[in-house]
Amino acid sequence: MKTARDLIQQAAKKAGVIEAIEALESLEASDALQELNDIIDGWNIDALFPYVNEEYTVSTPTLEPGKIKIGPATEGSVDVDAARPNRVISVAINKDGRYFPLDYVAPNDVATSNFRNASAMTGGIPIYYTVHTTYPIAEIEIFPATDAFPFFITSQNVVSAKTLNDTISLPAGYYPALVAELAVILAADYGNMEMIPQLEKTAKERLARVKRLNNRSRRMSHDGTPRGSGYWDITTDVYI
């Protein structure tokens, strides 16, 4: 594992910004940290960046029964003071020391159904949840609404570095690509234009490896039914 400072120092050396035994000035390193996080955000948009799973225990929702608010406390009142999750993987209730997972329903289905009035059918025990992807605070809504149970939430967040000393934990192959792309940006920022073509070539090659990691070829599947010597007619969508 490497810190953000490690990656920035490595990229600065490759870009010819500093010598092998030098270090970036504090302000320069802070600017590079912002560039590093911008690269991570871009990879996230392209579905290239790995996520880290976060787990939260909420004793009971305190702001509003049946709703769990997750986000930075600096942005408003929350039940969980944390980064807004990119995706909520699962929600479970703790009933008598045992965890019971809830079933996910899409927000559109909630709007057109009777989930909010499910209490009579379940005895007040939650069985469904949905996620409202509001920004900067996400909201998990529980059905039927209750504040009688603790909740256990698993979410996914993008790897990021808030400070230079934060550790960035990545699979094999990601560090070189991240350093290479940052080196291109730093070379341009510091006017080392003659180095950019080779740095860009290296960055493209290493990013291609990351893309291959995220796009493994898959085997085609079928239902296993014997088909004899016939063939699939794509015009009628049937086996002949």
pLDDT digits (tens, 9 = 90+) for 12-32: 999 999 987 888 999 999 999
220 lies in some domain: no
Domain that holds residue 36: 2-49+161-187+196-214
229 lies in some domain: no
Contacts of 44 (CB under 8 A, 6+ apart): 86, 158
Per-residue pLDDT tens over the stretch 130-154? 999 898 999 999 988 887 889 999 9
Angle at 207 between CA 203 and CA 209, to 5 degrees: 125
35 lies in some domain: yes
57 and 127 assigned to the same domain: yes
148 and 175 assigned to the same domain: no
56 and 44 assigned to the same domain: no
Query: How far, CA to CA in Å, does 38 sit from each of 34, 139, 164, 172, 200?
Result: 6, 25, 14, 21, 17
Token pair 């997972």: residue: 101
Per-residue pLDDT tens over the stretch 164-215? 998 887 777 889 999 999 999 999 999 999 999 999 999 999 998 888 876 6
237 lies in some domain: no
What CATH number is given to the structural domain containing 37? 1.10.3230.20
Contacts of 16 (CB under 8 A, 6+ apart): 187, 190, 192, 195
Taking 50 as the threshold, does the pLDDT of residue 161 lie above it?
yes
33 and 124 assigned to the same domain: no
173 lies in some domain: yes
121 and 61 assigned to the same domain: yes
83 and 133 assigned to the same domain: yes
33 and 62 assigned to the same domain: no
Tally helices (H) and strands (E) across the chain.
6, 13
User: What is the pTM assigned to this prediction?
Assistant: 0.59
Query: How far, CA to CA in Å, does 150 sit from each of 62, 65, 94, 95, 140?
Result: 11, 12, 5, 8, 14
Please confirm whether the linkage preceding 144 is cis (ω < 30° from 0): yes
